[in-house]
Chain A
Amino acid sequence: MTAWLSLVVWAPFAAALVLLLLPARASNAVRLVAVTGAGTSLAGAIAVALSYDRALGGVQFREYQPLVPSLGIAYDLGVDGWGVCLILLTGLIIFAGTWATWTLKERPKEYYILLLALVTGVFGVFSSLDLFLFFLFYELAVLPMYLLIGIWGSSKAIPEQGPFAFAYRSLHVGRKEYAAMKLTLMLLLGSALILAGILTLYWAGDGRSFSMEDLAKASISTSTQRWLFPALWLGFGTLAGVFPFHTWSPDGHASAPTATSMLHAGVLMKLGAYGVIRVGMVLLPEGAQAWAWVVGVVAVINVVYGALSAMRQTDLKYIVAYSSVSHMGVVMLGAATLTVDGWNGAVFQMFAHGIMTGLLFALVGLVYEKAHDREIFRMGGFGKVMPGIAVAFTLAALSSLGMPGSSGFVAEFLVFLGAFRSHPWWAVAGILGAWITAVYVLRAVRAIFWGPGPDVDRFPGLSDARGPEWVALYLLGLCIALFGLWPGLILDAIDSTTLVHLGRIVGPIVAGGTP
Chain B
Amino acid sequence: MIPLALFVVLGPVAGFLLLAGLPVLRRSGLAAGVVSSAVALATLVAAIVLLVGVEPGAAPVIAQIDWLPHQGEAFARLGVRVDGTSAVMGAVVALIASAVQVYSLGYMASEGRPSIGRYFAWQSLFLFSMQTLVFAPDLLQAFLGWELVGLCSYLLIGFYYQKPSAAKAAVKAFWVTKFADMGLLTGLVLMRWQVGSFAWEAVQPGWTATAIALLVFLGAMGKSAQFPLHVWLPDAMEGPTPVSALLHAATMVAAGVYLVVRTWPLFEASGVALHVVAWVGAITVVVAGLTAMVQDDIKKVLAYSTCSQLGYMVAALGAGSPVAGLFHLTNHAFFKALLFLAAGAAIHAVHSNSIWEMGGLWRSLKGASLLFLVGAAALIGLPGFSGFFSKDFALEALAESHLWGPFALALGGVALTGFYVGRVVVVAFFRRPAKERGRLHTPLVMTVPMTVLAVLAVVGGLLGGPIAGWLGGAYHFHVTPEGLTATVLALGGLGLATWIYGYEGGRRLVVLAAPAGAFIRSGLLDRFYETAWRQGLLVVAHAAGWFDRYVVDGVMNLVAWSVLEGSERTRRIQTGRIPDYVLAVVVAFVVLAAWGAVSGMSGCGSTP
Q: Do chains A and B touch in the complex (CB under 8 A)?
A: yes
Chain B minimum-CB-distance residue to A511: B72
Are A311 and B541 in contact, with the CB atoms below 8 A? yes
Q: B177-199 interface mask toward A, CB cutoff 8 Å, 1 = contact, 0 = none?
A: 01100100110011011001000
Given A171-B557, A383-B161, A453-B162, also A416-B185 (CB < 8 A): yes
How would residues 487 to 515 of chain A score, 1 for a CB under 8 Å from any chain B CB and 0 otherwise?
Answer: 11001100110010000000001111101
* Contact call B69/A416, Cβ cutoff below 8 A: no
In this complex, what residue of B is CB-closest to A314?
B545
Interface status of A404 (Cβ within 8 A of chain B): yes
- Bound form: Cα–Cα A344–B561 in Å: 42
Residue pair B147, A442 in contact (C-beta under 8 Å): no
Chain B 148-201 residues near chain A, CB threshold 8 A: 148, 151, 154, 158, 161-162, 164, 167-168, 170-171, 174-175, 178-179, 182, 185-186, 189-190, 192-193, 196
Q: What's the Cα separation between A413 and B541 when bound, in Å?
A: 25
Q: Are B147 and A409 in contact (CB under 8 A)?
A: yes
In the complex, what's the smallest C-beta–C-beta distance from B579 to chain A, in angstroms? 34
Task: State in angstroms the CA–CA spacing of A381 and B66 once bound together.
Answer: 42
Q: Do residues B560 and A491 form an inter-chain contact, with CB atoms below 8 A?
A: no
List B residues 543-578 near A (Cβ within 8 Å). Answer: 543-546, 548-558, 560-562, 564-565
Interface residues in A423-452 by Cβ distance below 8 A to B read 424, 427-428, 431-432, 434-436, 438-440, 442-443, 446, 449-452
- Across-interface contacts of A442 in B (CB, < 8 A): 154, 171, 174-175
A309 at the interface (CB under 8 A from B): yes
* Chain A residues with CB under 8 A of B148: 403-405
Does A467 sit at the interface, judged by CB under 8 A?
no
A413 to B562, CA, bound (A): 45
Given contacts A173-B557, A432-B182, A446-B171, contact A495 B69 (CB under 8 A): yes
A308 touches B147 (CB 8 A): no
Q: A162-B549, A247-B556, A515-B75 are in contact. Are A452 and B70 (CB under 8 A)?
A: no
Are A449 and B161 in touch, CB under 8 angstroms?
A: yes
Contact yes or no, B545 A435, CB < 8 A: no
A27 interface residue (CB < 8 Å to B): no
What 0/1 readout, one digit per residue, does chain A (137-176) give for beta carbons within 8 Å of chain B?
Answer: 0000000000000000000001001111111101101000
Pairwise interchain contact A158-B549, C-beta atoms closer than 8 A:
yes
A167-B70 contact given A313-B545, A449-B161, CB 8 Å threshold: no
- Asked if A119 lies at the interface with its beta carbon under 8 angstroms from chain B, I say no
The verdict on B67 contacting chain A, using a C-beta distance below 8 Å, is: yes
Chain A interface size, as a band, is 35 or more
Q: Does A515 contact B193, Cβ atoms closer than 8 Å?
A: yes
Q: A171-B557, A305-B548 are in contact. List 11 more A-B contacts (CB 8 A).
A: A167-B562, A340-B70, A340-B71, A405-B144, A417-B189, A420-B192, A434-B182, A435-B175, A435-B179, A449-B161, A450-B167
Q: Which residues of B contact A220 (CB under 8 A)?
A: none
Q: Is residue B62 contacting chain A, with contact meaning CB distance below 8 A?
A: no
Please report which residues of chain B, range 256-311, place their CB below 8 angstroms from some CB of chain A when the two chains form the complex: none
Q: C-beta contact mask, B514-548 vs A, less than 8 Å → 1, else 0?
A: 00000000000000000000000110111111101
Q: A167-B561, A305-B548 are in contact. Are A403 and B553 (CB under 8 A)?
A: no
Q: Once the chains are docked, how many angstroms separate the CA of A313 from the CA of B550?
A: 14
The total of chain B residues at the interface (CB under 8 A) is 62
B68 at interface, CB cutoff 8 A: yes
B143 on interface, CB distance cutoff 8 Å: yes
For the complex formed, measure the closest distance between the CB of A186 and the CB atoms of chain B, giving whole angstroms: 8
- Cα distance A381–B162 when bound, in Å? 7
B73 within 8 A of A: yes
In the complex, how many residue pairs between chain A and chain B have their CB atoms under 8 Å apart? Answer: 180
- Say yes or no: B162 contacts A312, CB within 8 Å: no
User: Shortest distance in angstroms between B114's beta carbon and chain A's nearest beta carbon?
Assistant: 8
Q: With A173-B557, A311-B541, A515-B75 in contact, do A495 and B70 touch (Cβ < 8 Å)?
A: yes
Partner of A446, one of B167, B192, B548: B167
Whether the Cβ atoms of B143 and A247 lie closer than 8 Å is: no
Instruction: Let me know if A308 and B544 touch, CB within 8 A.
Output: yes
Does B171 lie within 8 Å of A515, measured CB to CB?
no
Nearest-neighbour CB distance to chain A for B404, whole angstroms, equals 36
Contact B70 A341 (CB under 8 A): yes
Asked if A182 lies at the interface with its beta carbon under 8 angstroms from chain B, I say yes
> Taking CB as reference atom, which chain B residue is nearest A414?
B68
Contacts A488-B67, A515-B192; A495 near B72 (Cβ below 8 A) = yes
With A162-B551, A305-B548 known as contacts, the answer to whether A513 contacts B71 (CB < 8 A) is yes
Contacts of B168 in A (CB 8 A): 446
A311 touches which one: B144, B154, B182, B538 (CB < 8 A)?
B538
Counting CB contacts under 8 A, is A421 at the interface? Answer: yes
- Per the bound structure, the CA–CA distance linking A311 and B534 in Å amounts to 12
CB of A468 to closest CB in B, whole Å: 19
A487 and B144 CA atoms in complex are apart in Å by 14
| Contact between chains at A451 and B545 (CB < 8 Å) | no
**Cβ-based interface call for A398 (8 A):** yes
**Contact between B541 and A487 (Cβ–Cβ < 8 Å)?**
no
Q: A162-B554, A427-B186 are in contact. Are A421 and B537 (CB under 8 A)?
A: no
| Docked-complex contact B171 and A443, CB < 8 angstroms | yes
Which 7 A-B pairs give the minimum distances between C-beta atoms? A162-B550, A312-B545, A511-B72, A311-B541, A167-B561, A308-B544, A164-B554
